[in-house]
Chain A
């Protein structure tokens, strides 16, 4: 066997094994789609695939449920959170890494400890705080706590990136007459673009899928977000798994599609060293 054929053989084997593992890995998702495509008679078949398939479930759940409104709620909360996280963390990172303001290092260390604060320990006080603010069942009630919890991670990544940028660039901006704000806007932000994209996508995923706080803050049907509605549908469609899984598929789909579109930029940011040891 020549080295070339041995390499081909090895490549084939690796691909075969990877496809096998992937097939196993995808079972839950395939199953979800498969059950959604079943008639009520087939819904309880203990099999991964059944035949024939029907789109009736999808038609029915889209017709019967205000999924559009829920999708919109989720989108508003997520986009606002991402915008605030990107803005607040890049501004802070700029103050720490480029302006090197006195005392900001201490602030940074303090903020960093919140990387480790589990949301579980904050839901109770946040719930009470939001009630005081009158923010229960409002978008702000989710946006601000999400942003506060997301900012430390953004700061860690953006600060590392800004520190890696050559300091002479920021000095050149000063010689060119830039104010601190102009340096931030025209020089620092474009320089760390891959990291900004990474932070934005990650924050989007995390916010879109957050469950605990949404469960507590959004109690009115009008205001619910995508992650908390599957629970109520599981009661509603207890005897009709086909309909339930059609809803689940519809709920999961937007983010999956979005990720497939942006994954190149996301992985690109990661490979550019967004996450360091």
Chain B
């Protein structure tokens, strides 16, 4: 073995220039983020501290926040959003999960057909859906009241015109539109389940209900977690269905964040209030994503790993 004693000075770092040019790969995404997301967020945060319309703005400190929080409409919005998430997410999971299970485990030739058919509401334009449902709910000539009457349920007026029913009627439309998405997520989850685990459970004598609750549901936890996250985002995004079907009415009964912000900012032109509401929604989203990270953190613990 020959050893050269010549060179022992440390090697200089790899070409700096080459490494810096590599950051060009990250640039487009970062640029889009900075201009169209980060900057608007900062702007809205600043604007929430001013009052008045765009023509004349005055420093308001936290006055906007106080005004928003004492506004009874705000609390209707909060109630509606809680209802929206609490009903939509679990109901979609349940129906979507059942559909996925039966389609994946018990159909063969028609599997693709069912997968596609139940997903179609997701790809149908939400504004089309909203107007169709307005017609379905309509009094006198709507088909809902006509068919419900046959099974003994009488609807005097459209449910979206009743303050006590409007939000539920809208939630029903939302559930109907998005259940196909939950189904597809669970289908992906089921497809990625190792078949050996199901076989092993069978060998152990688990079947039917026991197999489903004891083995399948826990193993689909990653899909459920994703659906929970996407469901929360979707809830906070809610706008077109409400805007097109009730406009937030009657008398604010079905108001959600989207319609409330829209009204304050674009109908009433009160950018201070609109910005304040925007910031509150952002903070809510941030808080919920922190909860999500906490849950993900728990998942990294060795106790139980997902797929």
Residue from B147, B261, B299 whose CB has the most chain A CB atoms within 10 Å: B261
Q: Is A161's beta carbon under 8 Å from chain B?
A: no
Selected from A89, A152, A259, the residue in CB contact (under 8 A) with B123 is A259
- Interface SS of chain B: helix, strand, loop or mixed? helix
List chain A residues, Cβ under 8 A from B8. Answer: none
Q: Which residue of chain A has its CB nearest to the CB of B257?
A: A120
Q: Is B221's beta carbon under 8 Å from chain A?
A: yes
Interface pair A125/B44, CB less than 8 Å apart: yes
Interface pair B116/A277, CB less than 8 Å apart: no
Q: Is B223's beta carbon under 8 Å from chain A?
A: yes
List chain A residues, Cβ under 8 A from B90. Answer: none
Interface pair B132/A264, CB less than 8 Å apart: no
Q: Is A87's beta carbon under 8 Å from chain B?
A: yes
Known A-B contacts A31-B136, A91-B25; the reply to A230 vs B127 at CB < 8 A is: yes
Q: Which residue of chain A has its CB nearest to the CB of B220?
A: A277
List chain A residues, Cβ under 8 A from B135. Answer: 31, 35, 241, 245
Q: Is B23's beta carbon under 8 Å from chain A?
A: yes
Interface pair A277/B184, CB less than 8 Å apart: no
Q: Please list the residues of chain B having a beta carbon within 8 angstroms of any beta carbon in chain A.
A: 19, 22-23, 25-30, 32-33, 35-37, 39-41, 43-44, 47, 99, 102-103, 106-107, 110, 112, 114-136, 140-143, 145-147, 176, 184-185, 187-188, 191-192, 221-223, 225-226, 229, 232-233, 236-240, 243-244, 257-258, 261-262, 265-266, 271, 274-275, 277-279, 281-282, 285-286, 288-289, 292, 299, 306-307
Q: Please, could you name 22 A-B residue pairs with CB atoms under 8 Å apart, sorted by A?
A: A18-B99, A18-B103, A28-B136, A31-B136, A88-B28, A91-B26, A99-B22, A119-B237, A120-B261, A122-B41, A124-B44, A126-B40, A129-B43, A147-B32, A148-B37, A180-B25, A212-B240, A215-B243, A227-B240, A264-B112, A267-B188, A275-B223
The 4 closest A-B pairs by CB, nearest first: A277-B222, A125-B40, A46-B146, A148-B36
